[in-house]
Amino acid sequence: MRRTLVAANWKMNGNKASNEALLDAFKKGFDGSADTAIFPPALYIPQLAESLKGTDIAFGVQNAYFQESGAFTGELALSMVKEFGCQYVLIGHSERREIFGETDALVAEKVAATLAAGLIPMLCVGETLAERESGVTETVVKTQIDAVLAKVGIAAFETIVVAYEPVWAIGTGKTASPEQAQEVHAFIRQLLVAEDAAVAAKTRILYGGSVKAASAEALFGQPDIDGGLVGGASLIADEFVAICNAAQG
């Protein structure tokens, strides 16, 4: 009942020419077996809107602010994001949390504002290596999810997509094993089940962290892994096409 969703997080990479090449190759190779969304740097959103017109490939921004307008230099309002045809907003990526100091409270504000704007939040959670090694993975993930639950309530998780991205697996080549990932995905789903089982059964929980074509099928085959959020491999057309096509619907 949960259709696989594979998302590309291009992070701060690309240029007009390389984006066009990547999008063209993706449009040619993608077999439609999953839902897909692409998160380019925000300046390239109009380029994606044009290129993806008439396809089912969605796109969104990697970050936005929760205030409606005003003196917030450098930020993007959700109304602006919507005006340019985005469907998704990536929120609380570990790079935003670590490098830009985003707190659970700010992340929860952004999720609420994204929902209010009629957009889909893709909420990232995940533990660092030190946290995993000290055995607090579940506590960390629960705290991150609870902050959002407290702000928007369980019903919002029919819309929200959760992305579990262990920080130690991001950009390191160290993919969590399918079993390791499934364990945390099942834990996240249980957190939601405790609030409302019917909603929890609908929430898509994606895995992110060094997903490659070679690992995608085994990851997506786990019962609580509903797709992937792909960084580095999403910049390589053949790899990303193969990851998307590994989805079984």
Question: Which residues are marked as active site?
Answer: 93, 165
Listed residue (189, 187, 229) closest to 90, CA to CA: 229
Nearest-approach distance from CB 38 to ligand 13P, in angstroms: 12
- Note whether 232 binds ligand 13P by CB under 6 A: yes
Pick 154 or 170: Cβ nearer ligand 13P:
170
Supply the angle between the helices 178-193 and 137-152 in degrees, to the nearest 10: 40
Cα(238)–Cα(70) distance, integer angstroms: 42
Please pick, from the candidates 19, 210, 215, 245, the single residue that binds ligand 13P as defined by CB under 6 A.
Answer: 210
Please pick, from the candidates 4, 5, 6, 9, the single residue that binds ligand 13P as defined by CB under 6 A.
Answer: 9
Using an 8 Å Cβ cutoff, are 96 and 63 in contact? yes
DSSP characters over 202-242: T--EEEESS--HHHHHHHHTSTT--EEEESGGGGSHHHHHH
Using an 8 Å Cβ cutoff, are 243 and 230 in contact? yes
88: its two tokens = 């998704």
Nearest-approach distance from CB 180 to ligand 13P, in angstroms: 15
Q: Which residues contact 98 (CB under 8 A, 6 or more apart)?
A: 167
Build a one-symbol-per-residue string for 32-71: x at contacts with ligand 13P by CB under 6 A, - elsewhere. Answer: ----------------------------------------
Using an 8 Å Cβ cutoff, are 135 and 97 in contact? no
Q: Which stretch binds ligand 13P (CB under 6 A): 43-51, 180-188, 203-211, 237-245?
A: 203-211
Q: Which stretch binds ligand 13P (CB under 6 A): 23-31, 49-57, 101-109, 206-214?
A: 206-214
Please pick, from the candidates 35, 104, 165, 224, the single residue that binds ligand 13P as defined by CB under 6 A.
Answer: 165
Q: Which stretch binds ligand 13P (CB under 6 A): 73-81, 141-149, 196-204, 227-235?
A: 227-235
Please pick, from the candidates 170, 192, 205, 213, the single residue that binds ligand 13P as defined by CB under 6 A.
Answer: 170
3-class SS of residue 246: coil
The number of helices, as runs of H, and strands, as runs of E, in the chain is 11, 8
Torsion angle of C-alpha atoms 126, 62, 12, 99, degrees rounded to 10: -50
- Note whether 208 binds ligand 13P by CB under 6 A: yes
Nearest-approach distance from CB 196 to ligand 13P, in angstroms: 27
Pick 7 or 152: Cβ nearer ligand 13P:
7
Listed residue (131, 143, 211) closest to 171, CA to CA: 211
Pick 182 or 234: Cβ nearer ligand 13P:
234
Task: Give contact residues for ligand 13P (rule: CB under 6 A).
Answer: 9, 93, 165, 170-171, 208-211, 229-233
